[in-house]
Chains A and B, each alone.
Chain A
Amino acid sequence: MNLTLKIWRQSDANDKGKMVDYKVTEISEHMSFLEMMDVLNEQLINKGEEPVAFDHDCREGICGMCSMFINGEAHGPDRGVTTCQLHMRMFKDGDTITIEPFRAKAFPVIKDLVVDRSAFDRIQHAGGYISVNTSGNTQDANATLISKHAADEAMDAATCIGCGACVASCKNASAMLFVGAKVSQYALLPQGQVEAVDRVKNMVAQMDLEGFGNCTNTGACEVECPKGISLENIARMNREFLSANVKS
């Protein structure tokens, strides 16, 4: 496959940045999108040009590092995949592919396609955890009974890899699917109840502080989420937030 790539180039956070056109040749349809980017970067290095900076780590859809807004969609046109799992067979020979960084005020561009998603870390630090005594006499986890339904739903919420596709896809750059998933995974389990009130209040407060937009229920996040996190998690977070504010 021969492709034309329109890629956002930005040398650092202060640079204005611009779209730059590149040609890549001899791309196999079996390559992943990141492998195609590797080929492009080799070509650029051989020509003595600066390679395109992009985030990646596990390359098996688990870590949530690879981002990229491809042809107007987070992680490209395929469903339920991260960019590393996106295959070039989703495109046709001769295509022009537009590649941009995830755009949000809370996700500032560091360089080219790399954005700073540490806002998610700060939201997690605000309450996305449970406090457990690990002094050596911790009780057996199986001693706490949990219904199969609750365990399944909590696990579904916990599959969020914090990639930020929800923010990138949302027309409002809202982080509510991410925060909803993190709140839900604890709200559904007995271990999460002890700190439930402070958790949702603190995580929502941090989310608002980071400058994410407000959810208007378009559902774009759910469609683009590589892990299929459901909008139900946002509804649950809303219920938790109301309940927490009524309680204290």
Chain B
Amino acid sequence: MSGFFKSSIGRKYAMALSAFFLMFFLLQHFAINILSVFSPDAFNEASHFMGTFWAVQYVLQPILIFGVIYHFVMGFILEARNRSARVKKYAKNNGAANSSWMSRNMIYSGLCILAFLVLHFIDFWFPEINTKYIQGDMSGLLGNGEGFRYYEELAHKFESPLRVGAYVIAFVFLSLHLMHGFSSAFQSAGASSMRKEKLQLFGKAYAIIIPLGFIFIALFHHFNHH
């Protein structure tokens, strides 16, 4: 396997593998977040479990962080190499004639998602790490000790219409990214075209339903606090 991940195809596999992991993560993130709409208690329970269970915190979380960083860094490296493969651009290039906008602009939808992740980390991840590992409060309880803090924190974040707007825009770009990315990851991993047709359909459904679900959650909490 020496040199596999330095080769063009090896890097395609690596991008696909990190994409699979991130898409699975997104699904479980959605599954937990949607609980906040139906049952604040269930959301609190699930959040506390994810936030304190050792395997999630010390095994899955580092893998996730590595996966996110790898997917972005390798995305940029591949984009740079791909741009250098055509030094002189065409005077006229009709890309829309042969490919989708989503497939040609993965770097831009990816950059929007990266910008969103910075906001998302500032909103949730950094405060969470601060509370748990710097202040050492692993209880998951509110300051007054009356119940879990997770639902309150989530609902509070979505009070600001600016933040909700930013989330909605980011999830539209995530949808566009997944619209190509889902089936592209399977194609890179060598999935045959027979299975690909069903996969493409499933991928399109995933790319619409999951981001739309996240948008719904943000809007739900925003309007339920006004």
A interface residue numbers (CB < 8 A to B):
6, 8, 19, 69, 71-73, 77, 98, 100, 103-106, 169, 171-174, 176, 204-205, 207-208, 211-220, 223-224, 230-232, 234-239, 241-242, 245-246
Select from chain A the residue with minimum beta-carbon distance to B107: A216
In the complex the two chains form, is A73's CB within 8 Å of B94's CB?
Answer: yes
Query: Across the interface, which residues of A come within 8 angstroms of B224, CB to CB?
Result: none
Pick from A204, A211, A220, A230: contact of B98, CB under 8 Å = A220
Could you jot down 7 A-B contacts, CB within 8 Å? Answer: A77-B97, A98-B92, A215-B188, A216-B184, A223-B99, A234-B187, A239-B190
- Give every chain B residue within 8 A of A100 (Cβ-Cβ): 90-92
B91 near A98 with CB under 8 A, answer: yes
Q: How far is the CB of A157 from chain B (nearest CB, A)?
A: 13
Whether A173 contacts B82 in the complex (CB less than 8 A), given A239-B190, A245-B10, comes out as yes
CA of A73 to CA of B92, assembled, Å: 8
Residue of A nearest to B181 (CB): A217
Q: How large is the interface on B (under 10, 10 to 19, 20 to 34, 35 or more residues)?
A: 35 or more
The answer to whether B190 and A242 have CB atoms under 8 Å apart is yes
Q: Is the CB of B95 within 8 A of A220?
A: yes
8 smallest CB-CB distances across A and B, nearest first, come from A72-B94, A213-B85, A172-B82, A239-B190, A223-B98, A213-B82, A218-B99, A218-B103
* Residue ID in chain A nearest B6 by CB atoms: A208
CB nearest to A233 among chain B residues: B193
Q: Judging by beta carbons under 8 Å apart, are A238 and B188 in contact? A: yes
* Alpha-carbon distance between A115 and B180 when the two chains are bound, in angstroms: 32
Residue of B whose beta carbon sits closest to that of A6: B91
A237 to B83, CA, bound (A): 23
Instruction: Check B12 for interface membership: any CB of A closer than 8 A.
Output: yes
Chain B residues near A234: list those with CB within 8 A.
Answer: 187
In the complex the two chains form, is B12's CB within 8 Å of A213's CB? no
B13 within 8 A of A: yes
B8 interfacial by beta-carbon distance below 8 Å: yes
Partner of B192, one of A105, A205, A232: A232
- Which residues of B152-202 have CB atoms within 8 Å of chain A's CB atoms? 180, 183-184, 187-193, 196
**Chain A residue with Cβ nearest B84:** A105
Is there an interface contact between B193 and A235, defined as CB atoms closer than 8 Å? yes
Evaluate contact between A69 and B90: CB separation under 8 angstroms: yes
Partner of A105, one of B86, B99, B100, B103: B86
Beta-carbon contact of B187 and A217 below 8 Å: yes
Q: How far is the CA of A220 from the CA of B81 in the complex (A)?
A: 18
User: Separation in Å of the A79 CB from the closest CB of chain B?
Assistant: 10
Q: Is B210 on the interface with A (CB-CB < 8 A)?
A: no
| A223, B97: Cβ atoms closer than 8 Å | yes
Interface residues of B in 41-90 (CB under 8 A from A): 78, 81-90
B88 & A231 in contact (Cβ 8 Å cutoff): no
Considering only CB atoms, which chain A residue lies closest to B102 in the complex?
A: A218
Interfacial chain A residues near B184, Cβ < 8 Å: 216-217
Whether a CB of chain A sits under 8 angstroms from the CB of B93 is yes
Q: Which of A176, A216, A246 contacts B106 (CB 8 A)?
A: A216
Cα distance A103–B13 when bound, in Å?
27
How many Å from the CB of A191 to the closest CB on chain B?
22
Give A169 to B85 CA distance when docked, in angstroms: 12
Contacts of A231 in B (CB 8 A): 187, 193
* B87: chain A residues within 8 A (beta carbon): 105
Residue B7 is within 8 A (CB to CB) of chain A in the complex = yes
When distances are taken between beta carbons in the complex, the residues of chain B under 8 Å from A6 are: 91
- Once the chains bind, are A174 and B85 in contact (CB under 8 Å)? yes
> Within the complex, which residue of A72, A173, A176, A208 is in contact with B86, where a contact is CB–CB below 8 Å?
A173
Say whether B187 contacts A104, CB under 8 Å.
no
In the complex, B1 has a CB within 8 A of chain A: yes
B141 lies within 8 A of chain A by Cβ: no
Nearest chain B CB to A5's CB is how many angstroms away?
12
Q: Contact partner of A213 among B81, B88, B91, CB < 8 A?
A: B81
CB distance from B148 to the nearest CB of A (A): 43
B14 CB → nearest A CB, Å:
11
Contact of B103 among A173, A216, A235, A239 (CB under 8 A): A216
In the complex, residue of chain B having the shortest beta-carbon distance to the beta carbon of A248: B1
> In the complex the two chains form, what is the Cα distance from A242 to B11 in whole Å?
11
Q: When the two chains form their complex, are residues A71 and B94 in contact, meaning their CB atoms are under 8 A apart?
A: yes
In the complex, what residues of A have CB within 8 A of residue B11's CB? 214
* B97 and A245 within 8 A (CB): no
CB-contacts of B96-151 with A (<8 A)? 97-100, 103-104, 106
